[in-house]
């Protein structure tokens, strides 16, 4: 990723927008933990920025300090987005992803668990995800459901893109602890039909139905290890 981490540079070739990167899994996991700790602090920063009430002068000082930190990170950067990378051990990583990206301070991030019925994730959404007062933004709900339902359709053995996603917002989704779920309800050639939901302690707040499409010519493999 950086000039100080030559072993994490992607190899030259790409396949279908996914980047083959021969970094060994142990090294990927070491770097992931490092970058994840930075993203966690960025997430704290976002929350603190939204909720701060300190004086204007202090805001300006913090802004200048942060600008200096940004310059330090800019010393060595990827030329574009992080993409999805995978190695020969079938370990894949998508650190920039808007929902699960370990390096992405605007991702909650969702930690998705694959189980026999599909996928689920427990997440706590704070001030950064607010839409109506105290409630999760409807677009954020759609974002999170799109991802977990896509993962459900993909099932760690193929890649399926969102074709159509339909949401039903049954009631406001409160900020705080939530559960997301996805399960496959049907398959027809390259189409995978998925149902999803968001729930709080009192039950379902959002329901979704989606048609996910496995692009023509892409492989279906035996189930691969979790990312």
Ligand X SMILES: CCCCCCCCCCCCCC(=O)SCCNC(=O)CCNC(=O)[C@H](O)C(C)(C)COP(=O)(O)OP(=O)(O)OC[C@H]1O[C@@H](n2cnc3c(N)ncnc32)[C@H](O)[C@@H]1OP(=O)(O)O
Burial class (CB in 10 A: 0-12, 13-18, 19+), 41: exposed
Contact 186, 193 (CB under 8 A): yes
Site string for ligand X, 63-92 (x = CB under 6 A): ---------------------x-x-----x
Site string for ligand X, 27-66 (x = CB under 6 A): ----------------------------------------
- Which range, of 4-12, 118-126, 168-176, 189-197, touches ligand X by CB under 6 A? 189-197
Shortest distance in whole angstroms from residue 65 CB to ligand X: 35
Q: In the β-sheet with 18-20, what is the strand arrangement from edge to edge? A: 14-15, 18-20, 84-86, 92-93
Give CA separation, 15 vs 50, 89, 135, 203, 214, in Å.
Answer: 40, 16, 40, 42, 16
Nearest CA-CA partner of 39 in 141, 85, 108: 108
To 10 degrees, the CA torsion angle through 223, 88, 145, 198? Answer: 60
**Does the protein bind ligand X through residue 18 (CB under 6 A)?**
yes
The binder of ligand X chosen from 23, 104, 141, 159 (CB under 6 A): 159
CB-based closest residue to ligand X = 150
**Both tokens assigned to 89:** 């051990």
Site string for ligand X, 192-221 (x = CB under 6 A): -------------------x-x-xx-----
Site residues, ligand X (CB under 6 A): 18, 84, 86, 92, 146-147, 150-151, 154, 159, 161-164, 188-191, 211, 213, 215-216
């Amino acid at each position: 990723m950086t000039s100080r981490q030559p072993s994490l540079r992607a190899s030259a070739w790409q396949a279908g927008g996914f980047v083959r990167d021969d970094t060994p899994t142990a090294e990927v996991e070491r770097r992931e933990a490092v970058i994840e700790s930075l993203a966690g602090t960025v997430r704290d920063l976002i929350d603190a920025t939204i909720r701060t009430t300190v004086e204007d002068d202090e805001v300006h000082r913090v802004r200048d300090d942060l600008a200096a930190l940004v310059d330090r990170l800019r010393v060595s950067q990827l030329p574009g987005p992080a993409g999805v990378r995978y190695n020969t051990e079938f370990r894949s990583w998508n650190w920039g992803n808007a929902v699960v990206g370990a390096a992405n301070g605007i991702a909650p991030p969702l930690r998705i668990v694959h189980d026999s019925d599909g996928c689920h994730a427990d997440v706590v959404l704070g001030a950064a995800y607010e839409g109506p007062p105290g409630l999760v933004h409807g677009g954020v709900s759609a974002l999170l459901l799109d991802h977990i339902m896509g993962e459900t359709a993909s099932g760690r053995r193929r890649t399926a893109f969102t074709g159509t996603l339909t949401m039903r917002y049954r009631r406001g989704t409160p900020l705080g602890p939530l559960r997301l779920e996805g399960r496959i309800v049907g398959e027809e050639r390259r189409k995978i039909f998925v149902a999803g939901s968001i729930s709080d302690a009192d039950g379902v707040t959002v329901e979704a139905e989606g048609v996910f499409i496995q692009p023509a010519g892409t492989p279906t493999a035996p189930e691969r290890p979790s990312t």
